[in-house]
Amino acid sequence: MAWAYAPVKDQLMVPGDSGHNVNTDGERSSALMLFSEGKYLVELTSRLPCERKRRTNKKRVWGVEHMSGIEKNETLRVISERHAVKKYEKGFVLPEADLNAILTAASEAPSSWNLQHWRFLVIESEADKAKLLPVAYGQSQITDSSVTIAVLGDLEANRNTVIYDQAVEAGALTAEIRDALVGQINGAYQSAQTARDEAIRNASFASQNIMLAARSLGYDTCPIGGYNPQQLIETFNIPARFVPTLLITVGKAAQPAHPSGRFSLSEVVVKGSF
């Protein structure tokens, strides 16, 4: 009979168990788990013979298969931990440095033609929260969270081609290529529908970055589509150039979010063709 141990946070793979996990809740009856001095002890019983031919991407230590690089990946962990929180610690002040880090991550999202089709309206004062509350149909998370970020899409992002002038000045782009790109962009933006689609699509990339960056810093978020866009525009004097796409509350959770169910890959992935 062999013994092995790992830190409490680790999820342990039992050799020969055909991929089943022994987790820190001890859900698998096929192994006996004991707690001692901050570590879990796992008794690998004789009913679970060691098999070395499967799961070759995992490293074996003391008879225990440690998680693969995919399972330990920090980015994937943050993605899996992000859930929509509805109850926040009222009065918690989000440090300015952390807020700026979140907004910086948002601004580093990808965008069509690198036009960066977004503006971020940060609502954090108690007076502004009170103004936003009826716009969001009285949702308490508006006033309880540290800040709400209104993500706006730029309907006139073709005016942002100054980014190409900067590239030319830096020697990263020729003037001829810049002129060709600007002509292409202005041609596309003759269509109001294209301008709107691009504004919403690209602002959505920034929204996801906001939520993941906040989670990586230990904060929680909730994307809100339930609000009155026109009332938001009027209340906060948003120029006609920008279209509201989403409200995102950010703060410290007073209650943990409940993980939501997800469809399996077999239900959402189509390879090749329908």
To the nearest 10 degrees (0 to 180), the angle between helices 192-216 and 96-107 is: 140
Q: Residue 105 phi/psi, 5° resolution? A: -60, -40
Q: What pLDDT, on the 0 to 100 scale, is given for residue 259?
A: 76
Residue with tokens 């589509």: 225
- The answer to whether 49 and 214 are in contact (CB under 8 A) is no
pLDDT values of the chain reduced to their tens digit, one per residue, 274 residues: 333 333 333 333 333 333 334 343 433 333 333 333 333 333 333 333 333 444 444 444 444 445 578 888 999 999 999 999 999 999 999 999 999 999 999 999 999 999 999 999 999 999 999 999 999 999 999 999 999 999 999 999 999 999 999 999 999 999 999 999 999 999 999 999 999 999 999 999 999 999 999 999 999 999 999 999 999 999 999 999 999 999 999 999 999 888 789 999 999 999 999 9
pTM to 2 decimal places: 0.75
With a CB cutoff of 8 Å and minimum separation 6, the contacts of 244 are 150, 151, 152, 153, 227, 229, 232, 233, 238
What local confidence, expressed as pLDDT, does residue 175 receive? 97
Q: Specify whether the CB–CB gap between 119 and 149 falls below 8 A.
A: no
Q: What is the pLDDT of residue 207?
A: 98
Residue 260: the pLDDT is 86
Angle between helix 74-81 and 192-216 (nearest 10): 100
Angle subtended at Cα 97 by Cα 102 and Cα 89, rounded to the nearest 5 degrees: 75
CA 42 vs. chain centroid, Å, equals 34
User: What are the tokens at 175?
Assistant: 């003037």
On the CB side of 215, CA atoms within 13 Å amount to: 24
Query: Within its chain, how far is the Cα of 130 from the centroid?
Result: 27
Whole-number Å distance between alpha carbons of 46 and 63: 12
Residue 67 pLDDT: 58
Supply the DSSP string of 63-115, one letter for each residue. TEEPPPHHHH-HHHHHHHH--B---B-TTPPPPHHHHHHHHHHHHTS--GGG-
Q: H-type helices in the chain, by residue range?
A: 69-72, 74-81, 96-107, 126-135, 141-144, 162-169, 175-188, 192-216, 229-235, 265-268
- Residue 34 near residue 40, CB atoms below 8 Å: yes
